A and B are shown apart, each in its own frame.
Chain A
Amino acid sequence: MLKILRSQLDELFALIAEKETLYIPTDATAGIAQFKKWENGMKMSDKLKTSRSAKDFFFPQTEDLVSFKKTGKKIDIIDPRTETEDFVIFGVRACDCRSFDILDRVFLAEPVDTYYKNRREHGTVVTLACSKPAETCFCQTFGIDPTAPAGDVSAWMTEDAVYFNANTEKGNAFVDVIKALATESDDTAVEAQKAATKEILAKLPIQNLKTEAFGGGKTEQYFKSPEWAELSEACLGCGTCTFVCPTCQCYDIRDFDTGHGIDRFRCWDSCMYSDFTKMAHGNPRLSQKERFRQRFMHKLVYYPENNEGIFGCVGCGRCVEKCPISMNIVKVMRTLAKEDEGK
């Protein structure tokens, strides 16, 4: 693997940014960690994760799909897309990186979403192993190893150095760029960090939730569970969980009249909203209970049913931290699987 001293980090970022647009997590206003386009002097955040997930890079919150020009009875259709530039996202955590695989299975399935695919092809993902996982982390529940993240390039940051390993062709190209600053290194320091992190992970409270109770084919078992009523009782229907979730991918398509034409855009949407399924003649999900149930059934049963058992959650813990009424997938899983019984 390649090693670069932490004191050379600014040089490294400058070197990458010379070739491609570089995004790093940085402490923005009021200390919120956020991915931002790197500019000279920008420091990398040492927070565990960004407030928003990294899904924005491939599935932005809003995005123009198509534009229309109306002249009398005529309509002209314009594809508003310009060529996408290559870019590098540096410092993606293992959980967010797995979310890309989960989104890929939706957006890259036939018929392919070309907007998403285009961004995916132009982005190089450089992951960063976790060394200080938080109490809200539960990625291991879904078989993710936060000390060995995937991505085009995996990186580990120790007290004094950053270590890199390329995993893909795009990763090799990245490594070729940074070689000018790097030296070859063995993995002693990385292995030591992994071992130390694993000791912390072993002590975390929700790292090992039971997933065996969930997966495809469990619709009948859970859909009519009486527990949904109580679990969803306090839900505000604010949709925060869906927006901070790296795997939530539901979207709306809307038209905006610019005064010169119509811009049709898509934006994140939430199955937690009453409008989500509302049609002119009625709404199949009338209460918050049904909408709440949909979100969790989708992540724990429907998604795995369509995707070889892979769950639609990566255990990043954002919903655990951000839900205003402290309801989350961890509580849902424990309640449905009756995990608390007998304890």
Chain B
Amino acid sequence: MNETLIPVVGVITEVKLDTPDIKNFRVVGRDGKKPFIHKPGQCAMVSLPGIGEAMFSITSSPTNEDYMEFEIKKCGCLTTWLHMLEPGQEITVRGPYGNAFPVDDAFVGKDLLIIAGGVGLAPVRSVINYCRHYRDRYGKIDIVYGSRSKEDLAFYDEIVSEWMNPDEKDVNVHLTIDREQENWDGHVGFVPNYVKELNFSTDKTVIMCGPPIMIKFTLAGLKECGFDEKQIFTTMELKMKCGIGKCGRCNIGSKYVCKDGPVFRMDELSELPDEY
């Protein structure tokens, strides 16, 4: 029987300081393999026993068969502890939880517009790398990603060396930072405005993740441009304890974000009470 509340051991094999407050953790099981398989957008409960347990999106793509990655921003008790861990340290993981982005159905054959802000790139990075892996299944991929500063752009090395690589077929990355700074000749400005400026054709399927304020204004901008809510997918975050729709914390309306989400199509999300 699937003992879903009992985790398995995960071993941290690599820790990378990605931005001043975000670290990337590579995790494998004790046998050196991935702890479990997942789909893009799914999450896992990560814990340091004695400190706490919380839900994190699995930022690595399922096509990465060697390890699982978590991109974790230091912002609370557990994440502060996690940031102190070093390679070789064991943690616990359980999952995968939640639904996933519809990479194998609704996204197939579509031009994709991926919009992210800050650490919100973490869950959609799984989608980006999955789609890059199965490149022929999808149309053009546009990525709009913004953060406070150049240093705060997560996965910056990967973005520049891989996603922006001239050999990448039909992948366009549009980076932006909030304020002017030295060593930055790219776009400056907030994500919602940049998305409007870029004036994308409205036949794209949108995948969006970032701080609530970014989602709110980007959504409004997209609608103004003529996008329908049914074309827009996002992923949610609420307090979670069980991950299986029973502990009651992530309940909004008749939905449980851990089980019925975290991925929602905007029109489905609009039907739920405004409590997130």
Contact mask for chain B residues 75-95; partner A; CB cutoff 8 A; 1 contact, 0 none:
111010000000011111000
A residues in contact with B244, CB < 8 Å = 111, 113
Residue of B nearest to A217 (CB): B254
Given the interface contacts A73-B89, A114-B3, does A302 sit within 8 Å of B253 by beta carbon? yes
B189 contacts A by Cβ under 8 Å: no
A residues in contact with B106, CB < 8 Å = none
The docked-state distance in angstroms from the alpha carbon of A83 to that of B98 is 31
B139 contacts A by Cβ under 8 Å: no
Contact mask for chain B residues 83-122; partner A; CB cutoff 8 A; 1 contact, 0 none:
0000011111000000000000000000000000000000
Interface residues in A181-228 (C-beta closer than 8 Å to B): 216, 219, 223
- Stretch from A37-45, A63-71, A233-241, A328-336 forming part of the interface with B: A63-71
Task: State the majority secondary structure of interface residues on A.
Answer: mixed
B residues in contact with A277, CB < 8 Å = 238-239, 249
A residues in contact with B92, CB < 8 Å = 68, 75, 77
Say whether A113 contacts B5, CB under 8 Å: yes
Min distance, Cβ B11 to any Cβ of chain A, angstroms: 9
A residues in contact with B79, CB < 8 Å = 280
B193 contacts A by Cβ under 8 Å: no
B residues in contact with A77, CB < 8 Å = 6-9, 92
A290 contacts B by Cβ under 8 Å: yes
Min distance, Cβ A311 to any Cβ of chain B, angstroms: 13
Interface size class of B (residues with CB under 8 A): 35 or more
The docked-state distance in angstroms from the alpha carbon of A234 to that of B119 is 40
A18 contacts B by Cβ under 8 Å: no
Residue of A nearest to B252 (CB): A284
Say whether A75 contacts B246, CB under 8 Å: no
Partner of A264, one of B1, B3, B49: B49
Partner of B1, one of A75, A112, A279, A297: A112
The docked-state distance in angstroms from the alpha carbon of A284 to that of B238 is 8
- Other than A68-B50, A252-B247, A280-B77, give 17 A-B pairs with Cβ distance below 8 A: A66-B6, A68-B49, A76-B9, A79-B6, A113-B246, A219-B253, A251-B241, A251-B246, A253-B241, A257-B50, A278-B239, A279-B76, A279-B237, A279-B238, A280-B79, A298-B251, A302-B251
9 contacts between A and B (CB under 8 A): A114-B1, A253-B241, A255-B49, A266-B241, A279-B239, A280-B79, A281-B75, A302-B253, A302-B254
The 10 closest A-B pairs by CB, nearest first: A280-B76, A250-B248, A68-B49, A305-B254, A75-B90, A262-B49, A262-B50, A280-B75, A302-B254, A73-B89
